[in-house]
Amino acid sequence: MSPSALVADQQAAQAVVRHHRELAATLTGHVTRLVDAADAGLPERTWAHRDELTTWLHEELLPHAYAEEASLYPAAADLTSGKLLVDGMLGEHRVIAALVTDLEAAVSPVVAAATAYALQAVFASHLAKENELVVPLLVTADQVSLAGLLDGMHDIIGAEAGQPSGGECGCGGCGCGGDAPAADGGVATLTIDPRLDVRELPHGERHGRVLAALDALPADSALVLVAPHAPLPLLAEIESRYAGQVAEEWLESGPDVWQIRLRRQPVSA
């Protein structure tokens, strides 16, 4: 594989991971609102959030899964080490589709909340496997062009590979919020940082929840803060508390959602 083709595939891989992060964040928001309404004993709001969630699932998440089955999965299955992996991923797609059906058929808020939680958990595990196993497998395969597979596939990457989509991430090209390709030309490690969505928390609890999460975060690790507005006072408090030990990376800047990657800097020897 030529260096330019490898860079194109790495950028395409980062676009896939970026879109996965967007899907996971949106799903988390829907599930959180549904579960909170069910927990508060508000059936009408629960059903309204259930309907919003199922509409999004049919319009965004399931088409994403079916697009993968038509492009990425066949290419991965043709590789020697990919057949069993793809079989497992297809099985998880069937589980996800069944959970969507169960959610639509739920007759009580408790069942709806439990099903939504299960769907979120399965999807998070599924995305981790795609990011850490399927995508790197395709990037490293000489006979496969990941960039070519994704050409025009909006349902998989959310935007053209290599093009900005929303806020600037500083990664050097894709606007994805992920890590840039390795400087030595090797394949970058693809990971998903844990997310902390504070949009549904009472305003007075948000700062404390974020600070507690940062206290527990190991050095050289990161989390993605999801907020309903630009959290400038919170960022000032983080800077005062940690004195330059937390790096900020703005992934999305409104108008409805703000996402900021907060990374604990490694401790100097």
pTM beyond 0.85 = no
**Any idea what the Cα angle at residue 61 is, between residues 166 and 229, rounded to 5°?**
35
Q: How far is CA 217 from CA 21, 40, 169, in A?
A: 19, 30, 22
Domain range annotation of the chain: 3-157, 195-264
Residue 194: the pLDDT is: 78
Which residues lie closer than 8 Å to 253 by C-beta, 6 or more apart? 166, 167, 230
CB 165 within 8 A of CB 252: no
Token pair, residue 261, equals: 């990657």
Superfamily assignment of 195-264 in CATH?
Answer: TusA-like domain (3.30.110.40)
Torsion sign, CA atoms 176, 182, 187, 189: negative
Measured distance CA(173)–CA(178) in Å, rounded: 11
How far is C-alpha 175 from the chain's CA centre? 14
Best mean pLDDT range from 5-19, 24-38, 167-181 = 24-38
Phi, psi dihedrals of residue 225, rounded to the nearest 5° = -85, 130
Mean pLDDT of 172-201: 54
Beta bridge partners of 263: 222, 247
Residue 152: the pLDDT is: 59
CB 25 within 8 A of CB 124: no
Digit-coded pLDDT (tens) for 205-262:
888 889 888 888 888 888 889 998 888 889 989 998 888 899 998 888 878 888 899 9
CB 31 within 8 A of CB 120: yes
Q: Where are the alpha helices (DSSP H) in 185-246?
A: 203-216, 232-242
Residue 221: the pLDDT is: 86
Phi, psi dihedrals of residue 126, rounded to the nearest 5° = -65, -45
